[in-house]
Structures are given as C-alpha cells and as structure tokens.
Amino acid sequence: MRNLIDILDFSTEEIDGLIAVANDIIDNPEKYRDVCHGKILGTLFFEPSTRTRLSFTSAMMSLGGQVLGFDNAASSSTAKGETVQDTIRMVSAYSDIIAMRHPKEGAPIAASRVATVPIINAGDGGHYHPTQTLTDLITIKRKSGRFDNLTVGICGDLKYGRTVHSLIAAMSRYENVKFVLIAPDELVLPDYVKEEFLKTSEYTETVDLEGAIPSLDILYMTRIQAERFADRDEYERLKDSYILDASKLKCAKSTLSILHPLPRVNEIAVDVDDDPRAHYFEQAALGRYIRMALILKLLDTKGVDDRRTDGKEDPTLECRNPHCLTLTERGIKKLFKEGKCIYCDQTAVKI
C-alpha cells in the first residue's frame, strides 16, 4: 500500500510517470472510463475546498469509480469528538482509497498509521499539499517543457502557504533551479522548510516583487492565508502586500508562466487573466487529470507498504507547534526523530 503524504514520497521518475499517464488520459479519456469500476474514493474534507475536493471527485467518476465522504467536519462525527484516527479506521472499511484535508499539521501521517487503504494528503494545515504540487508540476512541464534550469519566484504567504512548502520540496530536486522567495518579513519561509529542502539549492529572499519579476521563468503567486493567523489585525495589515497587475508584467520575460494554486483574493488583478502567460485556471483544470493518474497509481501498489513506522516516543521532548495534530488528538503516540516531531516536522522542545 502506497500513500502520498509528502511530495518526496514519490521519486522524480515516479512524478514523470504520473505526468505521462495524465497526458495520456487527456489524449485518450475513453481508455480510462471504466478502469476504477467498483472502487470507492473517500473524500474527507475537514476544511473548505473547491478545486481539490471536486477535482478528486471528478477524477474518480471519470475513472468509473464512486465517491463518498464529507465536505465539512461539522457534518461528521468529528463534531461529537471523534478523533482523526478513529474516523480513518472507519472510512478505511467503507472505501478503497482516501483523500483527506485537515486543518491540523500531521493529520495525514496520523491517518496513514492506522489506515488499511492508501491515504492521500489533500492539505494539512500550513504544512504540505502534495497533490497541488503534482498539479503545479504538470503545468510547469507543459508550459516550460522542463524542470531544470528555471528561476522560480514564489510570492505571498510563504509562512503558512502549504502549496509553497511542497512545491519547494519538489523543485529543489532538479538541476540549477533558483528560487526567489518574495514575502513580507512576517511571512517568510519557515526554517524547517529551508533546513529540509534548501540546503543545496540557490535562493534569495526579497520583499520586492517588481524588482524580481524580470529574472523569473515561473511566478507562483499565493494568497495570504487568513485562516491561519492568530491575530486578525496582522492579517488585515498584510493581506494586500502584493497585487500582481498587468503593469507589473511589462518587464517580465515573454516565456514567463504565471501560476497560482487558487483561490485568489486580491493578489492577481483580473487584468492579468487575459495575458497569455497566465496559466492558473488551466493549472487547476489539469488537477483533475493528474489526480486520476495518482488514484490509478495508488490503487495499483499491492504488496508494497510505505506506511511510516519511524519515530520514537521520548518523554524529554515536546512538540510546541500550536498547529500540530498531536496537541489536540486524544491517544495519539507522540513520536520524534532527530529531535523533530514526525507529524509536523518542527523542532521539538526539550522539557
């Protein structure tokens, strides 16, 4: 049984394979119409979604399978106090594969430790969002034709933007990729992401979007993540830090790709939508096909078990990340590896 918790669960060769299958699905949809007949996808969305949930639903239906689940924690037994791990034990009995989104970091790892079917992380708090990254990667491949030798600007909320963390993890594996990290001081990339993924990649940090644009091959805009802020006033102050509009693109390369995981709020003006370099709506549409390829791959890995069994209990360590599932989930084993919480990757505190 394979899971997709973190984009690094897949090798670059496996990602190339998924993109090849997704492209074949686009060209030959009838070949895939019934290949998941009799299979059920569980979509457990403890947090709002349009693209991820509906593209997973569309993906399974397009493969001839069926879908069950919930789009709101309040309509599930979570509202009665059920833990994530108990919910997953149950839905494992009702489905063949599960895509889950949860506001707490590490929830998909906790799920995969008790699930009896493959778990797909459809976004865990401000941590990771690997299926968005697959969507980003197929778009980059189709638009730029390569992953190597790219200057990738990532702009906006780099602190809480889970799509950003997974994209950096994925792109850092390719040759000569340079990152330009554009964020206000309050929303710079967390240290754990830099430590994990940027040890060997070239990167610069700046607050200046317009100054960065001329050098970029990819501009990945992101929303300031209102739902992750403890202080509403801080969100109000930062929410319009960056607004990309047509005038700012005058000095951009003609080959630039403008991407955004969506939803957007104000960070891309609508006058950019007609620019031939704006690919964000096509990017979201490609999500359906790459998720079809992903479902096929994960349903076809019998005999393999990549469930995480690493990490040890350590009474001298405590995870103090307020967004980590381990702070709220009853009965969960608190596990650490090399001084870090295995669920959220944050450095643990010695007690």
Least spacing, CB of residue 33 vs ligand CP, in Å: 25
**Comparison of 94 and 281: residue with beta carbon closer to ligand CP:** 281
Interface with ligand CP by CB under 6 A: which range of 46-54, 184-192, 302-310, 318-326? Answer: 46-54
Interface with ligand CP by CB under 6 A: which range of 48-56, 232-240, 265-273, 305-313? Answer: 48-56
Pairing of strands 349-350, 218-221: unpaired
Task: Rule CB under 6 A: say whether 262 interacts with ligand CP.
Answer: yes
Least spacing, CB of residue 154 vs ligand CP, in Å: 15
Are the C-beta atoms of residues 179 and 154 closer than 8 Å to each other? yes
**Comparison of 121 and 172: residue with beta carbon closer to ligand CP:** 121
**Comparison of 29 and 263: residue with beta carbon closer to ligand CP:** 263
- Contacting ligand CP (CB under 6 A), which of 29, 214, 263, 322? 263
Task: Rule CB under 6 A: say whether 50 interacts with ligand CP.
Answer: yes
- Contacting ligand CP (CB under 6 A), which of 43, 52, 78, 121? 52
- What does DSSP assign to residue 218? E
DSSP string, 79-145: GGT--HHHHHHHHHHH-SEEEEEESSBTHHHHHHTT-SS-EEEEEETTTB-HHHHHHHHHHHHHHHS
Amino acid at 119: I
Query: Residues 244, 208, 224, 83: is their CA dihedral positive or negative?
Result: positive
Task: Rule CB under 6 A: say whether 69 interacts with ligand CP.
Answer: no
Residues in the chain: 351
Task: Report helix, strand or coil for 286.
Answer: helix
N- to C-terminal Cα distance for the chain?
37
Task: Report helix, strand or coil for 191.
Answer: helix
Distance CA 292, CA 26 (A): 10
Least spacing, CB of residue 130 vs ligand CP, in Å: 11
- Contacting ligand CP (CB under 6 A), which of 132, 172, 225, 257? 132
**Comparison of 219 and 341: residue with beta carbon closer to ligand CP:** 219
Task: Rule CB under 6 A: say whether 261 interacts with ligand CP.
Answer: yes
Strand order in the sheet with 66-70: 66-70, 40-45, 97-102, 119-124
No. of H helices and E strands in the chain? 10, 13
Distance CA 296, CA 21 (A): 9
Least spacing, CB of residue 79 vs ligand CP, in Å: 21
Task: Rule CB under 6 A: say whether 176 interacts with ligand CP.
Answer: no
Task: Rule CB under 6 A: say whether 51 interacts with ligand CP.
Answer: yes
Interface with ligand CP by CB under 6 A: which range of 59-67, 105-113, 233-241, 258-266? Answer: 258-266
Interface with ligand CP by CB under 6 A: which range of 76-84, 87-95, 242-250, 259-267? Answer: 259-267
Interface with ligand CP by CB under 6 A: which range of 8-16, 187-195, 226-234, 256-264? Answer: 256-264
Least spacing, CB of residue 345 vs ligand CP, in Å: 20
**Contacts with ligand CP, 269-308, as mask; x by CB under 6 A:** ----------------------------------------
Q: How many residues bind ligand CP (CB under 6 A)?
A: 9
Task: Rule CB under 6 A: say whether 133 interacts with ligand CP.
Answer: no
**Comparison of 42 and 311: residue with beta carbon closer to ligand CP:** 42
Q: Give the burial string for 298-335 (b: 16+ CB within 10 Å, else e).
A: bbeeeeeeebbeebeeeeebebebebbbbbebeebebb
Distance CA 333, CA 87 (A): 16
Residues that bind ligand CP (CB under 6 A): 49-52, 123, 132, 261-263
